[in-house]
Structure 1
Amino acid sequence: MFTRFRSMPATAMAAVLGCALMTTATPAAAQKKEKPKKEEAAKGGGISISKEFMPAAKKMEEAQKAKDPAAMQAALTAGQPTATTPDDKYYVGSYQLQLGILNKDQTLQAQGLDAMLETGRTPAENAGIYNFYSGNFAYGAKNYAKAIQRLEAAKAAGSTESALAPMLMDSYLNGGQIDKGWEIAKAGIDSARAAGTKPSEELYVRPAQAFQKANRTNEMLDVLTMRVQDYPTPATWRNTLYILLQQAAGDKELNLDILRLMRATNSMTQRPEYLEYAGLATEAGYPGEVVAVIRQGQNSGAIPKTDSHFGSILESQGPRAASDAAAVAADASKPATLNNPKAARATADALVGNGEAAKAIPLYEAALKAAPADSLIQYRLGVAQALAGQGDAAVASFAKVQGNRLRLAQLWTIRAKAGAPAAAAATPTTGG
């Protein structure tokens, strides 16, 4: 489902996920922050060049002051063989960097930074920024091993660049160290939440891509579930639930429950989803739910009101919905229904489908008393409570769910904590 993408050059994210592009270091910023202090180098400033290298260093400095790239290149070419000490090589690297900036040559800038860093003579106050930009260049070149090395060094040196953490995360992910990449992303998510801010969406999307590529579907869904918590939009709900639909192929009852959550989160946007929902609900014997979901699709514009196929379904299910609603209401009020766990659950299911979630709750509770280990009843109870606006009770019920609806229970918990969306998940219907 996910399409791998990179931020350099910037490309559009696959529509199935959607994501803001990563902000990475730019050459313009590098020119401002990477420029070494030439005056300090010339005066010593901790760097002491050798006597043999002094003539070449003087030519480099003169060419740089004149902003003459050709002269700088000539001075570098002639002077490199005489640069024998770490300080000499640091000096050469600094002018390679300057020449790269003058020529807007990132490759040369990267070479200059590497030459400086490899001498071990980089001042402590510059270690963070030099390592960061070296890592940035390596990341752009897809040299993830080197990017990790440099960015970790920048982090250790106290770099506060905002792009460091996401770039380091992505380097680990692209370098095959998915768990390490997710560890960094998770730390970023936790930090943002603790500060009361929304984590960057890429902290979810990038690791989800990596887990998907590695066929680690459960971990991918863990990440996407967290993403929905911070980005509870119809699009993110749809993305996550669509994956669950793919996993549930062949299990009609589970598919129907997934589609119900899609409906409850306003994330059903395509005609095929309404078609599948209507078909499953018809087959399961919930005419009221069939009519309600089709009407919702028509009102949202996902189903044209002139759609003859759905029109035929309404013609057949509308009259049944009216008679079924009356029968279900009558059954719900009978003491015998409460005393029959199977009937109690079936009646409760129908009530929820008819938009009567609150009335279904005591029936589910009665059924659960007779079968306390029945995870499906526990799950359906939580759904009814959530739809009835009993958020705390729903969260408590979902916490007890196990089995193949555990993921759905986790997602419903997020929805229950957030409260009902603008459109009701189910509305009473009494006819076509």
Structure 2
Amino acid sequence: MKLSRAVLAAVLVAGGASAQVGQAPRTINVSRDEENAINVLAAAAAQPNRPAQDAALAAARAASRSAEGRYAVARYQLDIARSRSDAQLYNQAVDALVESGLAPPDEMASLLANQASRAYGAGDMARTERLLARAVEAAPNNVEALTDYAQFKSRVNRRQTAAADRELAVQLFSRAIEANRAAGRASPESLHRRAVAVAYDATRPPLGLAQLGPQAIALARSLVAAYPSQVNWRDALLVYRDVAAAGDAELRLDIGRLMRASGALAGERDYLEAAQVLTTTSPGEAKIFLDEGVSRQMLDSTKPAVAQAIAAANRQAVAARAALPRLRAQATAGTGAQARAAADAHFAAGQYAEAAELYGLALQKGGEDPNLVNSRLGASLALAGRRPEAEAALHAVTGPRAELAGFWLAWLARRPAA
């Protein structure tokens, strides 16, 4: 575990001497005897004379009666141990620095992490946990401390406390990502992915912690916002679908649409499953998915199952397109429900600009769920390349579909502004 490189100021002021200690907001005060011994130790630490260093260390330890003095001695011992690559001497210095209680918060967190690493190596899980918890308590925004404790809590195997352990792990991972964001730093992709995995796995059997669903979705969205690869989009949207869309065919349909837009569909199985869902939820749209699968060489149109799906999709698409003029006329003269139905049909046909116009009409006429309509209005505008309007529509979405809107906004953030 990496420790801070802070060292004592070289000069101690005589007579109730004080010196700035690393990043600490306080000064330290030592007696004249302590000061003299520490000055000798400082000189010895700067030279490669091991006997002189050992003698100066022994004398400084004997002279140091105060916590400040012991902290100063341990600081120089740490430097000597580094120069010698002496692990035992180094560990003793770490323990002395922790015991002094004078280390600045971030340095204390690193010192405690060093002790925790040793306790873990010795198989003492109870001590490991106590030390990791102390590290987070000492420096609540220290990313390494938060991540170390989160990793421990995500892996510890205790049946009686499993639920609480995983909940705390997810909370700690989230805090680590937020601490990096607040400091203007990017969290590593591995941290994002680990956080998503722990949160999602906790929602599945045997734990089945449904209360972690919102965190799993939020972490998945954070992953693709920071690292929008096709693999990450696929994993993030599958997490979202599994957690939030069980029994909601309309939401599953819209998640599938975003999977296609983000390039998250991968392989024959994804495309054929999507096409099968679309035959019942959005007749005519399956053709768009299957044509893309063929163009991306993820579907082989000569295979019987694929050829059969394409033939059926083509028939549906012809019938769906033939109905568009009638549906548009009904939307103009009819209700909000008819306007939404016409908008859905145009969306399914890939006519996104026309769909957006009709979703807007559905909102004007009323009678439909505004969050569903706005989410689809935003998606249609996004696919039509009208980013500012899409963002406005998506920001208007509240309730359960706000998460879907958030994923679309993350996708739009990487698109041209106009």
Match among 290, 293, 300 for residue 296 of structure 2: 300
Unaligned runs of 5+ in 2: 19-29, 121-127, 154-167, 203-208
Q: Give the drift of 1:203.
A: 6.1
1:357/1:388 contact within 8 Å kept: yes
Aligned partner (choices 119, 123, 131) of residue 146 of structure 1:
131
The 5-angstrom pairing of residues 32-181 of structure 1 reads 33=5, 67-68=49-50, 85-86=65-66, 89-90=70-71, 93-94=74-75, 96-97=77-78, 100-101=81-82, 104-106=85-87, 108-119=89-100, 127=104, 131=108, 133-138=110-115, 140-141=117-118, 143=128, 145-147=130-132, 149=134, 165-171=142-148, 173-174=150-151, 176=168, 179=171
Distance 2:370 2:192 in 1: 33
Matched residue count: 371
Matched, 1:256 2:248: no
Counterparts of 2:335 and 2:69 in 1: how far apart (Å)?
Answer: 90
Residues 12-411 of structure 1: pairs in structure 2 closer than 5 A = 25=2, 33=5, 67-68=49-50, 85-86=65-66, 89-90=70-71, 93-94=74-75, 96-97=77-78, 100-101=81-82, 104-106=85-87, 108-119=89-100, 127=104, 131=108, 133-138=110-115, 140-141=117-118, 143=128, 145-147=130-132, 149=134, 165-171=142-148, 173-174=150-151, 176=168, 179=171, 182-183=174-175, 185-192=177-184, 200-201=188-189, 204-205=192-193, 207-209=195-197, 211-212=199-200, 215=209, 216-247=212-243, 248-284=245-281, 286-287=283-284, 289-325=285-321, 327-335=322-330, 338-368=333-363, 369-411=365-407
1:411-426 correspondence to structure 2 within 5 Å: 411-419=407-415
Q: Is the 8 A contact 1:338 1:367 kept in 2?
A: no
> Structure 1 residue 137: deviation in Å?
1.7
Do the aligned partners of 2:136 and 2:146 also contact (CA within 8 Å) in 1? no
Q: Is the 2:356–2:381 Cα contact (8 Å) retained in structure 1?
A: yes
What is the rounded CA distance, in whole Å, between the counterparts of 2:384 and 2:220 in structure 1?
A: 26
For residues 191-214 of structure 1, what are the alpha-carbon distances to aligned partners after superposition, in whole Å with 9 as ceiling and x for unaligned? 42xxxx755546644554554466
C-alpha offsets along residues 5-64 of structure 1, whole Å, 9 cap, x if unaligned? Answer: xxxxxxxxxxxxxxxxxxx637xxx7xx367789979xx97655869x98xx99999799
- TM-score (normalizing by structure 2): 0.70
TM-score by length of 1: 0.68
1-side partners of 2:147 and 2:252: how far apart? 34
Change (3 A) 1:292 1:180: closer
Task: Compute the RMSD of aligned alpha carbons.
Answer: 4.4
| CA distance, structure 2, for counterparts of residue 338 and residue 296 of structure 1 | 35
Counterpart Cα distance in 2 of 1:385 and 1:205? 30
Offset from partner CA, 1:85-139 (integer Å, 9 cap, x none): 237745764565356435534454132133145346x6xxx85785364144246
* Aligned partners of 1:189 and 1:203 also within 8 Å: no
Task: Describe the SS at the equivalent of 2:246.
Answer: coil
Specify the code of the residue in structure 2 equivalent to 1:278.
A
Is there any run of 5+ residues in structure 1 with no aligned partner, and where?
A: 1-23, 156-163, 422-432
| 1:274 shift after superposition | 0.9
Q: Deviations over 1:355-394 (max 9, x none)?
A: 1111123333333314144543333223222222333333
Distance 1:379 1:64 in 2: 66
2:161 corresponding residue in structure 1: none
Q: Equivalents in 1 of 2:144, 2:398: separation in Å?
A: 37
Could you say if the C-alpha distance between residues 321 and 185 of structure 1 is closer, same or farther in structure 2, counting changes exceeding 3 Å? Answer: closer
C-alpha distance 249-132 of structure 1, shift in aligned 2 (>3 A): closer
Residue 366 to residue 245, structure 1, CA distance change in 2 (3 Å): same
- Match for 2:229: what amino acid? T
Alpha-carbon spacing, 1:345–1:270, altered in 2? closer, same or farther (3 Å): same
Contact 1:83 1:89 in 2 (8 A): no
Q: Distance in 2 between matches of 1:336 and 1:259?
A: 26
Checking the alignment, whether the CA contact within 8 Å between 1:208 and 1:223 is kept in structure 2 is: yes
Supply the distance in 2 between the matched residues of 1:38 and 1:340 (Cα, whole angstroms): 82
Aligned counterparts of 2:69 and 2:375: Cα–Cα separation in 1: 71
| In 1: Cα distance, 2:320 partner to 2:171 partner | 52
- Cα distance, 1:50–1:243 mapped onto 2, change above 3 Å: same
Which residue identity does 1:347 align to in structure 2?
Answer: A
